[in-house]
Structure formats: structure tokens, C-alpha cells
Structure 1
Amino acid sequence: MDASLDTCGRRRVPLLLLPLLLLPLLLLLVEEAAADCLKPHGRGNIVLTDEALLMNDFPEGVDVTLECANGYVVESGSGSMTCVDKNWTEPDLTCKKKDCGPPKPQRNMSFNISAGTLFGAVIRVICDKGFQVNGSSYKSCYATGWSGRAKCGIVTCDKPGEVTNGKSSWVPPDKPKYGDVVQYVCDKGYALVGANHVVCSESGKYDPRPPTCEGKHFGTVDTNKEIGYTPVIVSVICVSLVACIVALFLHKFLLKRKGSYDTREDLKPELLLFQNL
């Protein structure tokens, strides 16, 4: 028995023919669905806007917008593209890296920007002589601008230590800063060994090193000096006397030897006359 469909009593259609009748309609729907564009994608430094990312269907004629990626800015174009015959039109958007520009000047601070100031660049913080970086020594160019906080604080030295048998001129409770001078004096009876003042240098050390105070010991030192010199003087005098005595005896000896061969030619005439009598 054939199954049929009564359409208001006018005619009866077999149920087996129903899929054949609906097939053209289904093909039309599939064809229309196939006309939609695929979901677009960004490329390089160009990305879809948040609105486009939330869309699920992209039928014929629909528009979506692209924008520059994070850290990039529009150089030219609008970034709009349209679905036409299952394909997206080519966007005219071009993007370039954001330029953070030179960092804001700060007191006693400069920057080495040899790497440039574009997005992704890293620069070094440089402090003036006698100052040091407090914080980050580098800054990076991000989409929001320069990152990293830093200040240049003046270099300080440790407080001068106590000087045995002496004192320093540093009175303030704070530490000496770069360029500060500290004077030193010794107590009575003690001598300063080293420089009488030091300077807090850029390295945080004193230049030169702090001095010390040592005892003078006037009496002991003077006595030792006299005792040290007296033997030398006595020795010199003794040697001189011995030399004189030796020279005298040597002279007499030579005179005696000379007298044994004396021809008396050196005698005075009157003495010769006296001897002849």
C-alpha cells in the first residue's frame, strides 16, 4: 500500500517523493550559507578589533575593522575590509612602531638612547658624577610609554670613625655626601700620621684614607738621638787622635833614618864654624 499525503483533498502525494521535493530548497540554503566569508585573521602588526572578534557569522557584504597591534600606531589607511564573493577585500591599513621619544629629563640624570626610542627599545640610565641610580638602571619603551622608575641620589660615605687620641670635624648626624671634607686633629702630645683632611669621593670611600694619631715621645726620641750620635762623635775623635799620633811617630822615624845619612849640608854656616873649632 502506497503512503500518500492529502493536501486539502486536492491531490495525494506519495511520502517517498517528499525528500525529492525538499532537496532543491536544501541545496539553496547550503549554497547561501557557503557564500559567507570565513572568519578573518590579523597579520603581523595588524589585528581584529574587539567587535570583530565577537562576531560569529560573516555573510556577504559584511564589514569588519582591523586595528594596529599593541605597541604600534596607524601610519595610513582605515583598516576596513568587506566580505565579497566569499573573500575579504584587502585592507589598506599600515602600522608602525610607537615612538616613546626621549624620556622626561630629570635632575642629575641622562640617558644612553643609542638603541633608539621606538617600541621595544631599552635604554640605560646614567647619573652625573657623584650620584648613583636608585631604582631601575634601564628603561623600556612599552605601548604605554617608558617603564622603570629611577632617581639619581647623591653618593654618601660612612660616618667618620672615632680617631684614637684625636677627633674629626664631622658633627652632623647625617652621613657625609660626595664632595664633603672631613678635617682631623690630634690630641696634645700626638702627631698626625697621614693627611689632615679627607674627601668623600664618588665611589663612596674617603680619599685619601683617614689618618691616625701617634705619640710624639719627645724626651725618649731626643735622648735616643743624642745617644745614637755620641758614639759616632767619640769614635771620630779617637780615630783622629790615633791618626795624629801615628803620623807623629812616623815623622820622627823618618827623621831618624834621614839623620844616619846626613852630610850636614843643610847645617847653617855658623854651626859648621863652631864644629870646626
Structure 2
Amino acid sequence: MNLVYNVVFFSLAVFASAQVPSKCGAPSSYPHTQIEDKYMKQGVFRNGEKVLYRCAEGYTQNSGVRSIKCHDGKWTQLTMKCEKKNCGSAGELFNGYFKYMGTLFGNKAYAVCNEGFTLKGMEYRTCKDSGWIGEIPTCEEVGETQVVQAEVTCPAPSVANSVKLSETVSVYSVRESVTLVCSKGFLLTGAQQLTCGPTGQWQPELPLCLPSVGEITCNVPKAQENRLINGLKPVYRSGDSLSFSCKDLYYLVGSNTVTCGVEGKWTHSLPRCKMIKCPILNITNGRTSSWHRRPGSDVTISCSKGHLLKGAARIKCSRSGEWMEEIPQCVLEGGEPQVVPAELTCPAPSVANGVKLSEAFSVYRVRDSVTLACSKGFLLTGAQQLTCGPDGQWQPELPLCQPSNDIIESPKPDGRCGVPPYLPNAHLSDCCRAQADLGPGYQVRYSCALGYVRVRGTYYSTCVSGRWTPVTLRCKLR
């Protein structure tokens, strides 16, 4: 009786273990959010494991829950919504008032004194994650002796692929306006009319003239049996994105996210799902009962005449694509095992300050692919997707994760700043490209390069105490 009970119990345990839910790959990206740093380097997550998100810089949570959960090989949907940070009032200015350019993250509030009073202190405050930064200035009564300051002016606005409708001059006085339109074949993104502000900067910020894409659309991806697509809809226009995942026992080859480009083509290429398989068994002086290499399949090994089996006669392929037992060998009776040539593989790619977006393994077979990204504070230089080549080397060569412009050089003793920091996918306005030694308080402006659009951050960097303030502007391919 006990024997029957034990057999039944063992059978149920084996059945239950075979039903263990699959693991999840890298979590999806959501607008205005970031995955908590501690999860960035983890490529595979267990069933039931949670991942936490936070709102991106300049945004605050206004609803939903900030976690998702791995359930049966799929991630639950993130319900957290983030809205742009609102700083509210910039404070009370006695004998004056604040003139707001807005109260959201990145906006400025300029201090204006009443007639008969002069400003002492910072001319404006800026809305940041922590609230309004910069001390509140004071408005002091005008004395008999005053220092006459130079007139504030704005340089002629420089917008690539644009023309000015109003009269063109080299400099503009405060409160003067100019109207812009784009050249043929380009569309205006931003304000058409600009006004010279009290700080010598155009308000609102300079617009962009981007290539006109009209109604260019991308083809709807064809359905594949083992590929799952999130975000399906009838028409995909430039800028629309799709995310992909695979069904159980399949892995993704290619990028898990693609975007419809300005030429009506998906970038990156559409990924595909390949079945997880264990490595090919090459048994010298032996043979296998079958060529099956799918997860859950069993293979029996037998040796040729005159040879003995060293190791397990039956091995099983795991759900992760690895043989669960050590590969056996066929040895001569009374002799040592013969050398078995190893299967050609690529080691897991190692990129300093990089993380893997696709499922992570210790080794990869020929034609296997992996997708890489850089940790926060670093930018990718080189290919994002790599493929294991027939020589056991990654193709193309491994990329680099280089520090972003948030790492600023040491300050100069005279308070002047050197060349403004480099920003990927962006360029400086015409005023600053040829100047290499700018003084304290000088402000430079960046613009996204042609074909790229702003996703977050501000356009300006200021020379303060011999350092350029960090540029938070980030541009992506339109």
C-alpha cells in the first residue's frame, strides 16, 4: 500500500514540476517612467517576481500602482501614470511680482520690480524636481546713485531650414518680436512668433523645422504563431511604436520595441521568435536515440561496440535550453575518454556600464542574438543588437557605453568655461559653435539634429563658476 502511495505521490510531484510557469524577460518601457536601477541588469525574472517603476525626471505620480508582476511568462500592465511636475507659486516678491513663463518642470519665473524699485539678486527662478530653485531676490528703492547696465538684446534667431517673415536685423531689443516659417518640405514644431525676453533669450524657446512626412505609414506586422505584439492598431504613422514578446518556450531574436520611421520603415527590424533548443549532441563513438532538442524532450545515449558509457544514459533538455545532466562520454573498455570537440559558442557579451534587454544566458550559440543598452548616465556608441558569428565572435564588434554630458570638466580658475559639452543627436545654435572660451553667466542653446525630436529635458546650459551646467535635453529619431 505504501509503495503505491509513494509512486502516486512521486508522479504528482513530477507533473506539478512540469507545470511550473515560465520566466519573464526584460520589462516593457512606459512613457515618462523609468525602471528602478536595481532591476536594470537583471535579464530574467522568476514567475511571481515584481519590478518597480518610478516617474522620470520632471514628472510626478498622479495615479495607479508603480509595480508590475511576472505572471505565466508575461508582465502585467503598469497602471502608474506620471504627469509633469508643477511647482505652483514661485513665492512673494515685495515691491514687485513674478512674471511666469509657466509653472511646469523646466519653466522659469522672472522677477519684475515695481516702478521706483530696482532688482537685487537672481533675475529668475526655475521649476525643478525639488521645486523652484534660486533664492527669491529683493526689490530695493532706487537711490541717488545707480549703475547703468548695458541694454539687454537677443541675437537673431537661428532655426535650420526656416525663413523670417518679419524684418531681419542682427539684434533685437527686449519685447521685440519675430515671425518664422519653415522652408518648403519642412513642418514647424513649436511657436511661430517669438519675443525677446528680459534675459536676452527668445520666448518661448526656438522651434524646429522638421522634414514633412505627410501621411507616411508603416506596414502592419504579419501575425506569427509564437510572437505576441502589444499596441496593435489598423494604421501606424511616423513615431508610433510596437513592443514584442514570445510565447512560452520561445525566445526573441531582435529588439523588443520598434518605431515607425519617417521613411515608412520600422526601426529596428521586426524581431522573430525562435524555439528554445538544447545544444546539438555530438557523442564520439556513440549515438543518440533521437535528434530532439526541445525543452522537456529526453535523449538516450548508447555507445558503439568496444566502448563503455561514462555518465548518465538518459539526459533531458530543460526549459532554459540546457541539458539537465552532464553530457556522457563513450570510452574504450579499460581506456580513457576520447576528446570530444566542443560546440562553437560565444561568451555572454561584456560591455562596461551596459545591460542586456533580451534574455541573458552564460553562452550563446551561433546565430543567437542579444540586445544591449547602457546604464543611466551612459550613452551607447555602436550597435545595439549583436549576433553570435560562425567564428565564436560577436558581430558587429561590441559597442561602448560612454559617459553622458552630465559629467562636466573641472572648473577654470578665472571663472570662464571652455567649449560647451557635446550632446548626442543635437547641435549648438550658430552663436556658440566657433567660441571656445565663454565667460560666467553665458548661456548656450542646443537643438535636436535634423530628423530627431525632443523627448525630455531643457535646451540650455549656463557657464557658472567655470563649469557648464548639465544639459538634460534628450533627442530621439522621429
TM-score of Structure 1 vs Structure 2, range by shorter chain? 0.3 to 0.5
Decide which structure has greater strand share. Answer: 2
Scaled by the length of structure 2, what TM-score is found?
0.25
Decide which structure has greater helix share. Answer: 1
For the pair shown, the structure with the greater C-alpha radius of gyration is 1
